[in-house]
């Protein structure tokens, strides 16, 4: 086979430009096509249900929910090391269920119907106005309305600004 002329490398390199641009867009919106939250464009991450537990919680009246916050690998490592602020790529997912009495053991309360799935994504460049966090609140896989999403950051900012706006502590 004859050696290729040098110029032949220029065309593939040029061809890479739209590919790289697409890849960059895909990184910014890693799960395009899925239902995304208003304001933030946050989606429910694939595979989150198998992520490690950060902590369970109980939410009293009027919601009366059992909850569990799960975190991706970036989140878990940040908790383990006490890294604040959380690094870009951190994702926290809070699952919530109505709580119901256990049918099997009287003193216990267990998850009933799933209510909401709530997501926090850290991306300091993308979310500079909200502490670097994007928020998503989903019911049955669909994001709730913009008005509800407008309340997320204000509450986190008012209460847990000193922990990079994250309520949940790792349960040891």
Q: Does position 74 bind its own copies by CB under 8 A? A: no
CA distances from 95 to 42, 79, 119, 154 (A): 15, 19, 9, 21
Give the C-alpha separation, 5 to 17, whole Å.
21
CB 97 within 8 A of CB 112: yes
Mask 124-153, x = binds its own copies (CB under 8 A)? ------------------------------
Minimal distance in Å, beta carbon 73 to its own copies? 9
Tokens 């430009």 belong to 17
Least distance in Å: CB of 132 to its own copies?
Answer: 19
Task: List the structure tokens of 86.
Answer: 């959380």
Residue labelled with tokens 């003193």: 107
With vertex at residue 65, the alpha carbon angle to CA 94 and CA 171, rounded to the nearest 5 degrees, is: 50
Judged by CB, which is closer to its own copies: 41, or 100?
100
Residue 105 is a binding residue for its own copies (CB under 8 A): yes
> Residue 78 or residue 123: which is nearer to its own copies going by CB?
78
Residue 60 sits in the site that holds its own copies (CB under 8 A): yes
Which spans of this chain sit near its own copies (rule: CB under 8 A)?
49-53, 55-61, 63, 66-68, 70, 76, 95, 97, 99, 102, 104-105, 107-111, 114, 159-160, 167-169, 171-172
């Amino acid at each position: 086979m004859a050696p290729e002329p040098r110029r032949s490398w220029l065309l593939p390199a040029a061809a890479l430009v739209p590919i790289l641009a697409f890849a960059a867009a895909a990184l910014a919106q890693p799960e395009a096509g899925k239902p995304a939250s208003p304001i933030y464009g946050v989606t429910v991450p694939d595979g989150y249900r198998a992520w490690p537990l950060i902590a369970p919680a109980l939410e009293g009246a009027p919601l009366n929910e059992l909850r569990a916050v799960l975190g991706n690998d970036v989140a878990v490592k940040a908790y383990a090391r006490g890294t604040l602020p959380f690094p870009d790529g951190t994702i926290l997912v809070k699952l919530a269920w109505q709580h119901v009495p256990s049918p099997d053991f009287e003193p216990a309360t267990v998850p009933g119907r799933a209510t909401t799935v709530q997501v926090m994504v850290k991306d300091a460049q993308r979310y500079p106005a909200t502490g670097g966090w994007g928020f998503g609140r989903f019911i049955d896989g669909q994001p709730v309305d913009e008005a509800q999403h407008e309340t997320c950051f204000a509450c986190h900012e008012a209460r847990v600004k000193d922990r990079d706006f994250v309520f949940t502590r790792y349960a040891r």
